[in-house]
Amino acid sequence: MNKIRIALIDDHKILCDVFEIKFKSHDKIELVGAFYSAEEFLKVCDTLEYDILIADLSLPGDLQGIDLISTIYQKDKAAKVLVLSAATDEETIIGTIKSGVSGYVLKDEGMDVVEEAIIQIYGGGQYFCKRVNQVIYDAIRKEDTLTKGHYNALTVREKEVLKLLALGLTPRKIGTKLGISHRTVEVHRSNIMEKLDIFTVAELVKYAIKNAIISL
């Protein structure tokens, strides 16, 4: 089994050292590069072979984390980015999730949570630690109105797939659960997003929570 290749961007040497020690001989995950700034990473990102980028939002230099994320997605819309940040405010968290990241973990969580997030994201899912999920939930509750959008236009199967996607299941796991192929699940996902006018899975999760399709 090939290891999951991760790249880390964080200006704290201690954290980079922790990652190097943690994943030096890990059986599933390999750290292929640790960088102290976005500019340093961008110099090699086109040739660096990695599966998931883990990045802080507060970085030295002119390019901050949110700008880096935008640059990464301009290069590769299918890129997987896990944010590892100390920022707990609603504006930062919601804004970052809207950018399309695959996950958001707070820095004071344990490395076991980071490892769980890496594996979940690599499998095609998303991962938000419990306190980030709570911020998302609280932000949704503040909104004056909840809209069902075009939910009623979804087929019964699409509604099933929507719920399972929002719960973080990968297309393969959903396919197994529903007795259909993962490619059929991906077609359903594309149709769901088109009907709901949603462009990222993170927005899909928010929509599902907002409309009580799933609960935290």
Ordered mean pLDDT values, 10 residues apiece, the chain (216 residues): 92 93 93 94 93 94 90 91 95 91 95 96 95 89 55 88 92 94 92 87 86 79
Q: Domain boundary residue among 99, 123, 140?
A: 140
Name residues whose C-beta falls within 8 Å of residue 195's C-beta, 6 or more positions apart in sequence. Answer: 150, 153, 154, 158
Q: What is the pLDDT of residue 150?
A: 73
Question: What are residue 134's phi and psi, to 5 degrees?
Answer: -65, -40
Q: Helix 90-98 vs helix 201-210: angle between axes, to the nearest 10 degrees? A: 120
Residue 216, domain member (yes or no):
no
Q: What is the pLDDT of residue 10?
A: 94
Q: Domain boundary residue among 111, 140, 169?
A: 140
Q: Domain boundary residue among 140, 173, 201?
A: 140
If asked whether residues 125 and 164 sit together in one domain, one would say no
Give whole-number Cα distances, 186 to 23, 100, 153, 171, in Å: 32, 18, 18, 6
Query: Is 104:136 a contact under the CB 8 Å cutoff?
Result: no
Q: What is the CATH number of the domain that holds 47?
A: 3.40.50.2300
Task: Please state the domain count of the chain.
Answer: 2
If asked whether residues 168 and 185 sit together in one domain, one would say yes
Query: Is 52:4 a contact under the CB 8 Å cutoff?
Result: yes
Range of the domain at 196: 145-210
pTM for the structure as a whole: 0.67
What is the Cα–Cα distance from 195 to 5, expressed in whole angstroms?
A: 35
If asked whether residues 34 and 19 sit together in one domain, one would say yes
C-alpha closest to that of 210 among 148, 134, 168, 151: 148
If asked whether residues 39 and 103 sit together in one domain, one would say yes
- Joined tokens for residue 196: 């709901």
Strand ranges (E), 124-201: 127-128
Q: What is the CATH number of the domain that holds 181?
A: 1.10.10.10
If asked whether residues 25 and 100 sit together in one domain, one would say yes
If asked whether residues 127 and 43 sit together in one domain, one would say yes
C-alpha closest to that of 196 among 211, 174, 175: 211
Q: What is the pLDDT of residue 146?
A: 44
